[in-house]
């Protein structure tokens, strides 16, 4: 019921609007009775004037509070301030501040900093890594009081063509959302440098760019089915041309050490 609460409220509102519409049209005479055609016309009028939010909008809103910005920090030269490395994304999976991201996002960093959806910044420690899945588990030292983790969903019933949304910080801008569909399952990917070979990946066509790495790939109802890890581009340009890959959430569950399903 909680998952569909907004939809129920929306359609309840349409019924109320329909009743008001009928009352306006027929209330003066008091003789007409409410017919199915009256209800259909009222619902149609409500939909035309107040369209429901898009699939992508609902998915992005559902995951928004669990998405974090992840940055590697490096010590500056003597007397100089610390330097920030590349920006990536993470997703909160346990309300105590446990965060999933890509291992390559924090590789080589001396320290890790995360920024939560409400703007709170915190240092984070690396609890563990899974190089074979390009996954890292972080523990934030400070967390918001009302932190809510993402809902995770197994990929057993995921199908090619299912709607998905990628949420993250492409090129450091965000949080940003892009929508698409699952375009393949059980794919393999080898990085252009030949340093990473990943298998059993979800292929998707929602736009992803550097900075999306480590962010959640979510279903239409905002449940996380994968962690965005790579994009495919036959050129040397690090930009999206239509194919992205995500590590299935089952592999992420193994990285946490406990099954969340």
Residues acting as catalytic residues: 104, 134, 213
Contact 88, 113 (CB under 8 A): no
* Beta-ladder partners of 70: 88, 114
d(CA 149, CA 23): 45
Supply φ then ψ for residue 198, to 5 degrees: -120, 150
Query: How does DSSP assign 222-245, residue by residue?
Result: S-EEEEEEEE--SSS--S-SS-EE
- Look at residues 169, 192, 164 and name the one whose alpha carbon lies nearest to residue 249: 164
Tokens at 79, concatenated: 């007397």
- Look at residues 227, 64, 60 and name the one whose alpha carbon lies nearest to residue 147: 64
Supply φ then ψ for residue 188, to 5 degrees: -120, 150
d(CA 233, CA 241): 6
Tokens at 150, concatenated: 């993402």
């Amino acid at each position: 019921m909680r998952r569909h609460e907004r939809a129920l409220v929306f359609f309840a509102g349409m019924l109320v609007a329909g009743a008001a519409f009928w009352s306006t049209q027929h209330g003066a005479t008091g003789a007409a009775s409410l017919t199915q055609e009256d209800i259909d016309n009222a619902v149609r009028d409500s939909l035309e004037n107040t369209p429901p939010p898009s699939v992508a909008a609902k998915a992005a809103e559902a995951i928004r509070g669990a998405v974090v910005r992840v940055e590697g920090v490096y010590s500056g030269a003597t007397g100089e301030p610390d330097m920030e490395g590349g920006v990536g994304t993470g997703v909160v999976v346990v309300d105590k501040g446990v965060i999933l991201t890509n291992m390559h996002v924090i590789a080589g960093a001396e320290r890790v900093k995360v920024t939560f959806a409400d703007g709170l910044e915190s240092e984070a420690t690396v609890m563990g890594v899974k190089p074979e899945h390009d996954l890292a588990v972080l523990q934030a030292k400070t967390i918001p009081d009302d932190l809510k983790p993402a809902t995770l969903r197994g990929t057993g019933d995921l199908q090619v063509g299912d709607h998905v949304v990628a949420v993250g910080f492409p090129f450091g801008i965000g949080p940003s959302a892009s929508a698409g569909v699952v375009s393949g399952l059980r794919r393999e990917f080898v990085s252009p440098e030949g340093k990473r070979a990943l298998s059993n990946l979800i292929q998707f066509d929602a736009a992803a760019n550097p900075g999306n790495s480590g962010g959640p790939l979510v279903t239409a109802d905002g449940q996380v089915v994968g962690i965005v890890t790579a994009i495919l581009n036959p050129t040397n340009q690090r930009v999206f041309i239509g194919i992205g890959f995500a590590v299935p959430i089952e592999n992420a569950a193994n990285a946490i050490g406990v099954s969340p399903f």
